[in-house]
Structure 1
Amino acid sequence: MRIYMQTQPVAAEPPRYYEVILQQDLLGGWTLYREWGQQGGRSSSKREVYLERDDALNAFAQARDAQVKRGFRVVFSQGLEAPHVR
Structure 2
Amino acid sequence: MAMRARKIITGEELVVQAVRTQKAKLVVVAGDASANTMKKVTDKCQYYQVPCYMLATRYELGHAIGKDARVSIAITDSKLAESIQHLLTPNS
Superposed pair shares fold, TM > 0.5: no
Greater helix fraction, Structure 1 or Structure 2: 2
Greater strand fraction, Structure 1 or Structure 2: 1
Range class of TM-score, shorter chain: under 0.3
Q: TM-score by structure 2 length? A: 0.25
Q: Computing the radius of gyration over CA atoms, which structure comes out larger, 1 or 2?
A: 1
Q: TM-score by structure 1 length? A: 0.26
